[in-house]
Amino acid sequence: MLALPCPHCGTRDEAEFQFGGEPAVRPPSSVSDTVWADYLYMRRNEKGAHRELWCHAGGCGQWFVLTRDTATHAVLP
Amino acid sequence: MRLAVGGRIDRGKMLRFTWNGRALSGFAGDTIASALLANDVKIVARSFKYHRPRGLFAAWVDEPNAVVDVRWNGQHDPNARATLVALRDGMVITGVNGFPSVDRDVAASLDLLHRFLPAGFYYKSFMAPSWHYYEPRIRAMAGLGRVGEATETRSFETRNARSDVLVIGAGPAGLAAAKAARATGASVLLVDDRAALGGSLLWDTATIDDVPAHAWATAAIAGVRVLSRTTVFGAYDQGSFALLEDRAEAPEGWAAPRLWVVRAKRVIFATGAIERPLVFPDNDRPGIMAASAVLDYLRQYGVLAGRQVIVATNNDSAYGVAEALRDAGAAVEIADARDDAPAIPGIKVRSATVPLGTGGRGGLAWVDLGPRDGSRRDRVSADLLAVSGGWSPAVHLFSQAGGALQWDADLAAFVPMQAGQLVAGSVTGAADLATCLAQGHAAGLAATDAGDLVGPRTAAASPVRPILPLWGLDLPGTRQWVDYQNDVTAKDVRLAASEGYRSVEHLKRYTTLGMATDQGKTSNVNGLAILADATGQAISEVGTTKFRPPFTPVPLAAIAGLRHGALFAPLRHLPVHDDHLALGAEMRDYGGWARPACYRGIGETTEAAIKREAANARFRVGLFDGSSLGKIEVYGPDAAAFLNLMYYNEVANLRPGRLRYCLLLRETGVVFDDGVVGRLAADRYLLSPSSSHTAGVLAMLELWHQTEYPTMQVAFHDVTAAWATFAISGPKSRDVVAGLGSGADLSDQALPHMAMTENFIGSVPCRIARVSFTGERSYEVSVPSGYAQSLWQHLLDLGAAAGIMPYGIESLSVLRAEKGYILIGTDTDGMTLPVDLGLEGPLRAKKIDFVGKRSLLTPDATRADRRQLVGLLPADPETVPVPGSHAVLREGGASRSLGWITTACRSPVLQRSVALGMIESGRARMGEEISLFHLGKLSRARIVAPCFYDPAGEKLHG
C-alpha cells in the first residue's frame, strides 16, 4: 500500500498507478543480439535507490520516473 | 456460573442460543465464549491432532482452543473464534473437529496413539507410495470447521483514513498518548479491538487526576477519532496500517466487517501484553485458564469460572486475580513457584509450589501441587486452575512495522527496542498503571514534537517482586502442552531440537507450533524458551519467529471488499444490447463485452443456429454487431510518422480513405494485436484494435509517445463507445447498404475492398468501411452510438427482402476459420512472431526501427523450424479435433510434439471439419499427413494452406 507522488496530481494511492519497471534506453537495431537482449530482458533490480517508471493510469495517464528505495519503499527525491 | 451482579453486560436483554443442540441463554454484551462459560460448558472444542477435549483458556484474541461453527440469520462461519464473536439471539453454535460432538468424540481414541504420533510423524510415516495417497484421510481427521457450499453474500466495505497520529490500543497508555497528542492540536485516531475503551481501567479501582479511572478514560478521548471493535491486523509500507472493524454490533444493526487502510505520520504502539500459560503435565484440561482471562470473564461478563480455584503463578500479576475471585465468593488457593510468597488475607498461599498434574473427567477435578522436582505431591480438589506464566508484550505490530526486539531477562519477555518508534504501556513490559500512563503521555507528546504538558496523575505503584521464569518441568513421561490448538508438547519441541531443528523458524514448521489460527499468541515464547534449553542456546540467541500480518484471522472477502464480480469487472453492454435479447441472442462474455454468441430459434440447437447464421452470411446477407471493436482516433502532424514506428506494417503510405490490415508487435517481436488501420486524412487515422485489446493498444501508444517519442506531435482518443458499428456481410450486402441512402458511391471502383468513406444518413454522420472478417463482400457502417438502435432496426428492415439475419460471434468464428483469419490470443500465443503467420513482407520492406523489429532479426526469430500457421484437414471429415490437440511425431522410438491445433470447427460450406494450427516448419510440410494426439487418442490430419474457402478472394472483392 504505497502512496506515490504523481508530478501532475500529487500524492495518490498505489492502486491508481501502473508500474513500468526500470527505464531502459532503446538501442538502434544495428546493435548486437546480446546488446538487444540486455535491453529487452536484463534489469538491475537493485536493493536501495531504484529509478523506475510509473504511470498514473487511474488519474492523468502520464508516465513519470520515480526514485524509490526498494528496501524501505521510501520515495526518494 | 453467572454472578447475580457485575460485568458490562445488559441483563435486561436475554439472548437465546443453542450449543450442540442444547438451548442456552446469555445476555447482550456476552461473547459466545462468556455465554458458554456462564452456562458451565467445559468442553468447547477438540484439539486439531489428538482430538483431546479442550476448554476456554483465554478471553480474547489469544484464545487457542475455542473455534466453533456459528450459524445465524442465514450466515455461516465454520471457524468462528468464540472469544471474539458477540453473542446474538438465535445463534446456532456447534463444536468443531468432533464426531458426533465435541463432548463425545469417537476420534478421541487417537489420543491413545500419541506415542506414535510425535512431531514430524506425518513426514516420516506417510511417504510411501506418496503423501497424496494419505492426505485426504488425514485432512478429514484433523482440522477445524467444515466450509459451507454457499457463496459469500455479505457486502464488505473498504475505508481509508488519515491522521497525524495513530494510537493502537486504548488501555491506560494508549488513552494517555491519544489525550496528549490531541492536546497539542494533532489529529488523532485511536483504535481498540474491544467494544469499550479503557482496557484494565474498566475495572481498575484506582483514581487518575482525582477521578475514577473509567471516568478519566471517558474524558480522555475528547476530540479524538475513535474506532472500537477494530483490530489493527497488519503494518504495511510507508507507515500504512490495515484494520478490520467488526460491525456486528453496529447501531444500525448487523453489518459485515469493514476494512480500513490508515496512513498516519506517527504511530504509537500501546498494544498491551498477553499472559502466558504455565507448562506442566496435563496442563490442557478443560478448567485450566489464564489468570487474566478469569478476571476478564469476571469483570466484563460477571462470570465466575470456578468456585474452588487454585491460582498457579510465577509472578505477581495473578495475586490481584486471586483477590478478585476471593471477593466474588470463590475458595481460592495460590501456588507460587517462587520461594517468598507473601501472606494474603482469606487465601492459602503456598511458596515454591507448582502444579505437577491434573485430573478429572470432562473437566478439572483435582490438581497435584508440589515442588518443581516432583518430589512431593499434594492432591487438591479444584474446578478451576488459573495460571500465569508471565506476560509476553504484544509486539506483533511493532515488529511488523520494522521494530527490533530484545530479550529482557528480568521480565522474561521480548520487549521492543525503542529506536525511533513510539511504544507505551505493558507492550514495553511496564506492569503498573503509573508507568503506563507516564509512558503514554510521553509518547503522545513525542509523536507531535510538541512542548511540555502535565501528564495524568495516579498513585505510585508498589514494588513488584521479580518473575521466576518457568519453561516446563523436568518430569519424564509426562505430556506438557505448549501449543494447545496444534497439539504441540514440550517433548515435541525437544524432539525437533534433537533432530537438528535448531532455528525457531524450523521448529515452527516442523512441529506446527504457533501455526494455528491463534498464531501462537500464548505458546510462542514458551516454545522457543524450551528450544533454547534443549539446544543450549540463550533465549536471545533463539529469538522469535518473524511476525507477519495478519494479527488475527481476516476474511479474504474483507480484503476483496467491493472488488468482486461485476463491481470488479463490469461486463460492457453493446448499444443495442436489448435488441439482441429481443432477437433471442444468447449473450456471453467475450473479452469483457456481453456479445451475442448466436441467435437461436425456438427449439434450435446452438450448432444448428451457427450453421444457419453462417450460411446466410455466405450466401445471402448477414448482420453483425461489431460495436465493441476498438476505435482509436489518432491526430496530429506526426500521426503518420508515429504510427509507422508503432506498426509492423507500413502505414505512412496509406492514402486517405484506404484501410490496411496491420499487426502491432511487442518490443520482443511477439504479435500483440491485429486490426485494421484506416486513414481519414493526412493527419488523422482510425485504428480498430481487437475488442479486448483496445485499452492495451491505447496504453501502448501512450507509453511509446510519452517515453520514447515525446516531441512528436500526435494525440490519441479512444472513441470506441462513441460509435456503433454494424457489419453487413454477404453477396447482397451492397444492396442493403445502398438502401441507407448515405450518398456514398458504393461501386467497386469508388469503394473497393479495404476502403472507407465518410458520409451522412440524413443528418447523421456515418462511416462506411469495406472490410471483411467473413471472406464475403462486407460493409461496416458506423454511426454515433445514440443512433445505434435506429440504424440496427433500419438495416433489419432494409435487408428483410434479401433475407437478412443477424449472426453472432460463434458463427463469425466459423466464417473466419474457413478463411484462415486468425484471432490473436487464440491462434497466436506469447511466442508468435509475424513471420510465423506468414507475414514477412514488412520486415523486408520497412527500413525504420518500428517496435519489435530488431527482435525479428535474432537467431531465434529466424530459425527454420519455428512453428508456423497452417491449415489442417482431418482424415475423418466428421470429427472436429479439439483445440490444444498436439501434432506428434515418432522419432527414434519416442514421440515429440510438432505443435498444436489452435482453432477447429465444422465448416458448413465445406461440409467437413477444418482446423488451424501452429506446426513446426509447417509451411515446408504442405501436403504431409501427421498424427494428432488428444487424451490418449491418435487421429490423422493433412497439412494444407491456412485458407479453406475462396483462396483467391473473388467473393471478397466482388
User: CATH no. for residue B339?
Assistant: 3.50.50.60
Same domain, B259 and B322: no
> What are the chain A neighbours of B854 within 8 Å (beta carbons)?
27, 29, 31, 36
What is the SS3 assignment for A70? coil
Same domain, B133 and B64: yes
Give the distance from residue B849's alpha carbon to the nearest chain A alpha carbon, in angstroms: 6
Mean pLDDT (chain B) is 92
- Specify if B465 maps to a domain: no
Same domain, B239 and B171: yes
Distance of alpha carbon B359 from the chain centroid: 44
pLDDT at residue A50, as a whole number: 95
Give the distance from residue B402's alpha carbon to the nearest chain A alpha carbon, in angstroms: 10
Chain B nearest-CA residue for A20? B703
pLDDT at residue B204, as a whole number: 82
Interface test with B, best of A1, A18, A54 (most B CBs within 10 A): A1
Average pLDDT over residues B608-625: 96
pLDDT band at B134 (very low <50, low <70, confident <90, very high): low
Same domain, B317 and B377: yes
Q: Are B787 and B742 in contact (CB under 8 A)?
A: no
Angstrom CA distances, B939 to B188, B886, B891, B931, stand at 73, 10, 17, 6
pLDDT at residue B449, as a whole number: 81
- Specify if B560 maps to a domain: no
Query: 3-class secondary structure for B935-946?
Result: CCEEEEEEEECC
Q: Which of these three, B388, B405, B433, is where a domain ends?
A: B388
Same domain, B285 and B340: yes
| B876: containing domain | 863-957
> What are the chain A neighbours of B668 within 8 Å (beta carbons)?
40
Residue appearing with cell numbers 446474538: B88
Interface of B with A in 652-671 (CB under 8 A): 667-668
Residue % of chain B over a pLDDT of 70: 95
Strand partners, B937: B934
A47-61, B38-52, B613-627, B680-694: the lowest-pLDDT one: B38-52
- Specify if B842 maps to a domain: no
CB pairs under 8 A between A and B: 47
- Specify if B849 maps to a domain: no
Please determine, for residue B321, whether its predicted confidence score (pLDDT) is greater than 70. Answer: yes
Please determine, for residue B701, whether its predicted confidence score (pLDDT) is greater than 80. Answer: yes
* Model confidence pLDDT, tens digit, residues B436-457: 999 999 999 999 887 778 888 8
pLDDT at residue B698, as a whole number: 97
Say how many residues make up chain A: 77
Average pLDDT over residues B817-827: 95
Please give the Cα distance from B195 to B826 (Å, whole number).
55
pLDDT at residue B137, as a whole number: 64
> What are the chain A neighbours of B263 within 8 Å (beta carbons)?
3
Residue, of B96 and B376, whose pLDDT is higher: B376
Chain A interface includes B261 (CB < 8 A): yes
- Specify if B853 maps to a domain: no
- B240·A3 Cβ contact <8 A: yes
Please give the Cα distance from A71 to B891 (Å, whole number).
52
Please determine, for residue B192, whether its predicted confidence score (pLDDT) is greater than 80. Answer: yes
Residue % of chain B over a pLDDT of 90: 79
Chain B nearest-CA residue for A55? B703
Sign of the Cα pseudo-torsion (B521, B527, B529, B535, in order): negative
Same domain, B135 and B179: no
Same domain, B731 and B804: yes
Distance of alpha carbon B452 from the chain centroid: 45
Count the neighbouring beta carbons within 10 Å of the beta carbon of residue B342: 11
CATH number reported for the structural domain that contains residue B86 in this entry: 3.10.20.440
What is the SS3 assignment for A15? helix
How many domains, chain A? 1
Give the distance from residue A33's alpha carbon to the nearest chain B alpha carbon, in angstroms: 6
- Specify if B455 maps to a domain: no
* Model confidence pLDDT, tens digit, residues B224-273: 999 999 999 999 988 899 999 999 887 777 888 899 999 999 999 999 99
pLDDT at residue B835, as a whole number: 96
Chain A interface includes B590 (CB < 8 A): no
Please determine, for residue B632, whether its predicted confidence score (pLDDT) is greater than 80. Answer: yes
Chain A nearest-CA residue for B854? A29
Same domain, B661 and B578: no
- Specify if B91 maps to a domain: yes
- A1·B237 Cβ contact <8 A: yes
Could you say which of B261, B703, B854 has the minimum Cβ distance to residue A36?
B854
Chain A interface includes B243 (CB < 8 A): no
Chain A nearest-CA residue for B858? A33
Q: Are B333 and B310 in contact (CB under 8 A)?
A: yes
Average pLDDT over residues B659-664: 97
Give the distance from residue B722's alpha carbon to the nearest chain A alpha carbon, in angstroms: 20
Please determine, for residue B100, whether its predicted confidence score (pLDDT) is greater than 80. Answer: no
CATH number reported for the structural domain that contains residue B890 in this entry: 2.40.30.110
- A29·B849 Cβ contact <8 A: yes
Average pLDDT over residues B779-803: 97
B418-422, B660-664, B897-901: the lowest-pLDDT one: B418-422
Angstrom CA distances, B723 to B450, B554, B696, B791, stand at 61, 45, 19, 12
Average pLDDT over residues B853-874: 96
pLDDT at residue B563, as a whole number: 86
Q: Which of these three, B369, B388, B407, is where a domain ends?
A: B388
Axis crossing angle, helix B490-498 with helix B504-511, rounded to the nearest 10 = 120
Per DSSP, helices labelled H in B119-222 are 121-125, 131-141, 172-183, 213-220
- Specify if B564 maps to a domain: no
Please give the Cα distance from B45 to B56 (Å, whole number).
9
Give the distance from residue A63's alpha carbon to the nearest chain B alpha carbon, in angstroms: 7
Same domain, B349 and B489: no
Please determine, for residue B595, whether its predicted confidence score (pLDDT) is greater than 80. Answer: yes
DSSP summary character for residue B668: T
H/E stretch holding B665: strand B659-665
Q: Which of these three, B816, B831, B849, is where a domain ends?
A: B816
Q: Which residues contact B898 (CB under 8 A, 6 or more apart)?
A: B867, B886, B887, B888, B889, B919, B920, B930
Give the distance from residue B847's alpha carbon to the nearest chain A alpha carbon, in angstroms: 10
How many domains, chain B? 7
What is the SS3 assignment for A68? strand
Same domain, B185 and B242: yes
Chain A interface includes B151 (CB < 8 A): no
CATH number reported for the structural domain that contains residue B686 in this entry: 3.30.70.1400
Average pLDDT over residues B376-394: 96
Nearest to B779 by CA among B765, B769, B787: B769
What is the SS3 assignment for B621? coil
| A51: containing domain | 3-76
> HSE-up of B740 (CA within 13 Å, CB side)?
32
Please give the Cα distance from B631 to B461 (Å, whole number).
76
- B857·A28 Cβ contact <8 A: no
Chain A nearest-CA residue for B849? A29
Strand partners, B55: none
Average pLDDT over residues B744-751: 95
Buried b (16+ CB within 10 A) or exposed e, B198-216: bbbbbbbebebeeeebbeb
pLDDT band at B140 (very low <50, low <70, confident <90, very high): low
**A contact set with B (CB within 8 A):** 1-3, 13, 18, 20, 23, 26-29, 31, 33, 36-37, 40, 53, 55, 57, 61-63, 73-74
Same domain, B376 and B426: no
* Model confidence pLDDT, tens digit, residues B553-562: 998 889 988 8
What is the SS3 assignment for B60? coil
* Model confidence pLDDT, tens digit, residues B347-369: 999 999 999 999 998 899 999 99
Nearest to B785 by CA among B567, B569, B579, B566: B579
Angstrom CA distances, B46 to B142, B480, B488, B749, B899, stand at 10, 17, 14, 85, 55
Same domain, B7 and B126: yes
Please determine, for residue A63, whether its predicted confidence score (pLDDT) is greater than 90. Answer: yes
**Most distant CA pair in chain A: distance in Å?**
42
B87-101, B413-427, B592-606: the lowest-pLDDT one: B87-101
Q: Are B190 and B164 in contact (CB under 8 A)?
A: no
* Model confidence pLDDT, tens digit, residues B640-651: 999 999 999 999
Please determine, for residue B521, whether its predicted confidence score (pLDDT) is greater than 70. Answer: yes
CATH number reported for the structural domain that contains residue A38 in this entry: 3.30.2270.10
Rounded to 5 degrees, φ, ψ at B916 are -115, 150
